[in-house]
């Protein structure tokens, strides 16, 4: 191979295994070696399953040699946020409170296994996925691979850092308010929050009941399409997972955008970005214009209202999920997790019920107002350069929340609405840290987001750059 194995994209790796240019065992060894090499600097893994992964890779090679190729993920190493059940393992959710090994697999893990993907390990996260910096007092914080003095973002920081550092070809994260998209932007990778219900959450440690989504994190839009293809679709184990047809995401990818209407979000809060971030966004929107898209400036009504409603749902539901632990073992919980639970306990029931009841009508109005005019909405993913650890590591949870909210104001509203959003890398800040934008779409519009991102990546090279880790 002309590239080191760990530097291949997921699509390239899968094709190489299919053509038997490289074995799954060799690919998996390269991925595991990379994971073990970067782990001391990044702390992105909670567990690396070398022996089991190599055994699975050997089985994949045997199947492929026998003509039983399962698809583009067959024999490709993936690692995932530690919230998904696998038999015999404790899905920690970043806490020390869970002690019983799972007796079954999460649906997404079953589907990856059926696709022939190789599971290499569990990835770090903020406790209970209730944080945005990658800090975890129990297991240690995850560091940003572009500069380890900076945060990875969270709560799927381990997933973002792992993929950016080439320690796996893709990873799953969870997103209840930006927890896939923000760390993806901070680490310079693709991160998808699918439509609520597009991907099953059965067997997944819950962060919330009604705003949390499981989504792929990869280096390219093509890779993201391949991962989503494997896990999307109805699941009778998850009552929030509707029986909506799943398109061929890879077939929908394109390299021109003629006839595509892209709305460029303007006004508050989308104008609240620092100048160097704004310049990267302008460069990205210019690239879309050059690809043939029609750009339409668009004000998006009620974003901050949607954000507030998302917080009511998310924090109240987190209090229900985690309140038992705060009552019984508060000394074993981090301050960040306790703060979220405490806020949720103080939300009036009337506000929660109002947030739930308004969701459908507000979504319908949003679809009419935005996606009646455009196909895709372009918006920031980050408000400013990624903070340093020192800027967030001072025990003041209100200040940490303030820093996180600077960017979460761009992400939380689609968790409330349940619509899909994709974070895409678009360059680097003056300090050499990644910058990203988001593409938003209507319900079950993931294919159009991935197509636009793929076209953008066909004329840019930000996603090909790798952090300078030894």
Q: Is 81 labeled as catalytic in the residue annotation?
A: yes
Q: Provide the 8-state DSSP code for 431.
A: T
Please, which pLDDT band fits residue 368 given cuts at 50, 70 and 90? Answer: very high
Active-site entry in 16, 23, 31, 155: 155
Query: Is residue 148 pLDDT above 90, yes or no?
Result: yes
Tell me the per-residue pLDDT of 401-457, one tens digit each, with 9 for 90 and over. 677 678 899 999 999 999 999 999 999 999 999 999 999 999 999 999 999 999 999
The span from the CA of 89 to the CA of 100, in Å, is 8
Please, which pLDDT band fits residue 203 given cuts at 50, 70 and 90? Answer: very high
Tell me the per-residue pLDDT of 43-98, one tens digit each, with 9 for 90 and over. 999 999 999 999 999 999 999 999 999 999 999 999 999 999 999 999 999 999 99
Q: Provide the 8-state DSSP code for 285.
A: H
User: What pLDDT score does 406 carry?
Assistant: 82
Please, which pLDDT band fits residue 399 given cuts at 50, 70 and 90? Answer: low
Active-site entry in 179, 200, 407, 423: 179
Instruction: Give percent above pLDDT 90 in the chain.
Output: 93
Residues 6+ apart with CB under 8 A from 164: 145, 146, 187, 188, 189, 219, 434, 466, 467
Residues 33-41 have a mean pLDDT of: 98
Asked if omega into 269 is within 30° of 0 (cis), the reply is: yes
User: What pLDDT score does 400 carry?
Assistant: 64
User: What pLDDT score does 1 carry?
Assistant: 44
For 307, counting Cβ atoms within 10 Å of its Cβ (0-12 exposed, 13-18 middle, 19+ buried), the class is buried
Active-site entry in 81, 156, 159, 315: 81
Query: Is residue 397 pLDDT above 70, yes or no?
Result: no
Rg (CA), the chain: 20
From 421, 452, 457, 428, select the one nearest 186 (Cα to Cα): 428
Residues 276-300 have a mean pLDDT of: 98
Q: Is 155 labeled as catalytic in the residue annotation?
A: yes
Coil, strand or helix: which one is 144?
coil
Q: What is the mean pLDDT of the chain?
A: 96
421-428, strands of its sheet edge to edge:
45-48, 118-123, 77-81, 171-175, 213-218, 190-193, 421-428, 434-440, 376-380, 261-266, 294-299
Q: Domain residues of the chain, as ranges?
A: 5-464
User: What pLDDT score does 425 carry?
Assistant: 99
Tell me the per-residue pLDDT of 164-187, one tens digit each, with 9 for 90 and over. 999 999 999 999 999 999 999 999
Query: Is residue 394 pLDDT above 70, yes or no?
Result: no
The answer to whether 194 and 230 are in contact (CB under 8 A) is: no
User: What pLDDT score does 469 carry?
Assistant: 82
Residues 223-247 have a mean pLDDT of: 98
Q: Provide the 8-state DSSP code for 129.
A: G
Q: Would you say domain 5-464 falls under CATH 3.10.580.10?
A: no
Q: Is 357 labeled as catalytic in the residue annotation?
A: no
């Amino acid at each position: 191979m002309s590239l080191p194995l760990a530097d291949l994209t997921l699509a390239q790796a899968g094709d190489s295994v299919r053509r038997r240019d490289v074995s799954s065992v060799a690919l998996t060894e390269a991925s595991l070696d990379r994971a073990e090499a970067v782990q001391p600097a990044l702390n992105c893994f909670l567990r690396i399953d070398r022996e089991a992964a190599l055994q699975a890779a050997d089985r994949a090679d045997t199947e492929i040699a026998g003509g039983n190729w399962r698809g583009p993920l067959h024999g490709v190493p993936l690692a995932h946020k530690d919230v998904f059940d696998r038999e015999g393992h404790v899905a920690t959710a970043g806490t020390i409170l869970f002690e019983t090994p799972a007796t079954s697999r999460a649906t997404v893990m079953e589907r990856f296994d059926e696709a022939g993907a190789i599971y290499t390990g569990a990835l770090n996260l903020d406790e209970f996925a209730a944080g945005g910096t990658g800090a975890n007092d129990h297991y240690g914080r995850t560091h940003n691979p572009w500069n380890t003095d900076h945060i990875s973002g969270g709560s799927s920081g381990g997933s973002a850092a792992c993929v950016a550092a080439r320690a796996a070809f893709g990873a799953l994260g969870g997103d209840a308010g930006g927890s896939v998209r923000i760390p993806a932007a901070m680490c310079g990778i693709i991160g998808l929050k699918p439509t609520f219900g597009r991907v099953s959450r059965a067997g997944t440690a819950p962060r919330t009941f009604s705003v949390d989504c499981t989504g792929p994190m990869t280096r390219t839009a093509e890779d993201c399409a391949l991962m989503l293809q494997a896990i999307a679709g109805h699941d009778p184990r998850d009552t929030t997972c509707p029986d909506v047809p799943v398109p061929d995401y890879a077939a929908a990818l394109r390299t021109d955008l003629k006839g595509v209407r892209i709305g460029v979000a303007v006004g508050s809060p989308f104008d609240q970005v620092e100048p160097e971030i704004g310049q990267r966004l302008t460069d990205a929107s210019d690239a879309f214009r050059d690809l043939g898209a029609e750009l339409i400036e668009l004000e998006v009504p009620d974003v901050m209202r949607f954000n507030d409603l998302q917080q009511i749902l998310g924090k109240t539901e987190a209090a229900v999920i985690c309140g038992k632990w705060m009552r019984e073992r508060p000394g074993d919980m981090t301050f960040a997790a306790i703060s979220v639970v405490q806020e949720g306990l103080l939300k009036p029931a009337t506000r929660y019920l109002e947030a739930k009841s308004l969701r459908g009508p507000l979504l319908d109005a949003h679809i009419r107002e935005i996606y009646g005019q455009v196909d895709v909405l372009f918006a920031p993913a980050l408000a400013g350069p990624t903070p340093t650890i020192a800027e967030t590591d001072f025990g003041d949870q209100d200040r940490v929340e303030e820093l996180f909210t600077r960017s979460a104001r761009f992400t939380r509203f689609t968790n409330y609405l349940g619509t899909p959003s994709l974070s895409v890398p678009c360059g680097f800040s003056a300090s050499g840290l990644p910058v990203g934008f988001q593409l938003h779409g209507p319900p079950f519009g993931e294919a159009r987001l991935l197509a636009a991102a793929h076209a953008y990546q066909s004329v840019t090279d930000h996603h090909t750059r790798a952090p300078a880790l030894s």
